[in-house]
Each structure stands twice: as C-alpha cells, then as structure tokens.
Amino acid sequence: TTASQLLDYIGRTGKYIIHVEGTIQLTGMHQVKSDKTILGVGTEGHIKGGGFNIKSASNIIIRNLRFTDSNDDAINVQDNSHHVWIDHNDFSGSFDGLVDIRLGPSYVTVSWNRFSNQDKTCLIGSSDDNGSLDLGRLKVTYHHNWFDRTNQRNPRCRFGEVHVYNNFYDNPGSYGVASTTEAKVLVEGNYFLNTSRPTSVQEGSSPEGYLQARNNYFNNSDTTPETRGVAFDP
C-alpha cells in the first residue's frame, strides 16, 4: 500500500507475489528483479507518475494494475529479459511510451490491456542500428488488447517476430501496426474501427519490414492494409 513497500519487494532477490492496493505515487523508472508477480487487488491498484523497468530479468507477471502519468515509460522491458507477461492492465498518459520492449528481450506477451490517451504506445526495438543484439530475439505476442484512440506504435516493430492477433483498434490517429527494419509481423484476426492506416511497412527513416495480414475485420477503415513479403508462422 506504500511506495517504499512496493520498491522494497520488487527489488528483492527471490520469488514473490506482490499485491498492490490503492494508489502508489512513483517518480522515474524502478527495476523489477526476476521471479516477481505484481498484482493489483481490490478495485484499485494504481501506479501513478512512474513506471517499472524490467532489465536483465525473467519470469515476471504484471497484472490488473492501472498506470497513469509516468514521467518516462509505464513499463520498459529491456536487456535480454525473457518470459514476461503483461496482462489485464490499463495504461494511459506516459511521457514516452506505455509498454516499450527493446535491447534484445524475448518471449513477452502483452494481453487483455487497455491503452489510451497516448501518442507513442508500444515500441519493439529501439534503433535501426541494433540488429546485432535484436536479430533472433524480440519474440513478442499482442492479443486481446484495446487500443483506445492511441495515435501510433500499436505496436511499431523492428527486427523481431511479432504476432498481433485479436486486438481492437478503436480510432487510432496515425496508424495501427508498423513493421520496419527486418521485423516479421503477422497481423491476424484484429478489428479495425475508423482506421485509415491499419498497417504500415515503413515509418520515419526506418527501412521496410515484413508484414502479413489475414482474417482481419474492417469497419469504416481501409480494407487493403499494407503488406510485404512473408512474416513467420507463430
């Protein structure tokens, strides 16, 4: 129920299930060590003003929390972390990204979350020059998320193998899913509402990625999303 308790337990070595109740005010990013489940309980488990940094860690679940107004990212997964599950959370209003996955993580699942009130939502791969670390990694799944009027990066991918399925795109401003810089992205079974660019295979100065789209539903949206080549078989 307090910031000091939360930071104590997420920074400990060993296996913990950490229940969060009420609003906890943080500043900046705070490292979560391996073997942690951070679980919102009751009607309100709320992380406000700061976020979690999952760095060189594994076996982490973050579930049933609300993240608002982070002065950086809400969650940053980086530095070869693996086996991370981000599930049933509500994210909005971060200064940078809501959930960024960069610098070689793998086996990350982002499921059943709501993303709202955000420009740059979810980034996979931070740089076009990072192939030596990211190639063969960045294996990520997004499923059953609600992208609620988020502008871009829903997600935006570099290098990785990314499966984006059964998500709801609700009035995204710029685009839905982007594949760049050797990424292989399968966009499958999603619902696009009022979406002028459901997919993109080139953004900014990044070269094109690979993207396949199948069995998606388009409501007042472009029914011919951008595709390129063969992605991968999840």
Q: CA geometry: angle at 221 spanning 215 and 226, to 5°?
A: 65
158 CB-contact burial (10 Å; exposed 0-12 / middle 13-18 / buried 19+): buried
Question: Distances from the Cα of 17 to the Cαs of 6, 127, 160, in angstroms?
Answer: 11, 34, 30
Whether 153 is catalytic: yes
Q: What is the separation, in whole angstroms, between the first and last Cα of the chain?
A: 40
Amino acid at 54: I
Q: Which of 153, 156, 158, 197 is catalytic?
A: 153
Closest-CA residue to 125 (of 135, 115, 110, 112): 135
Q: Dig out the tokens for 57 from the structure.
A: 């860690």
* Residue 217: how many other CB atoms lie within 10 Å: 12
Q: Which residues are catalytic?
A: 153
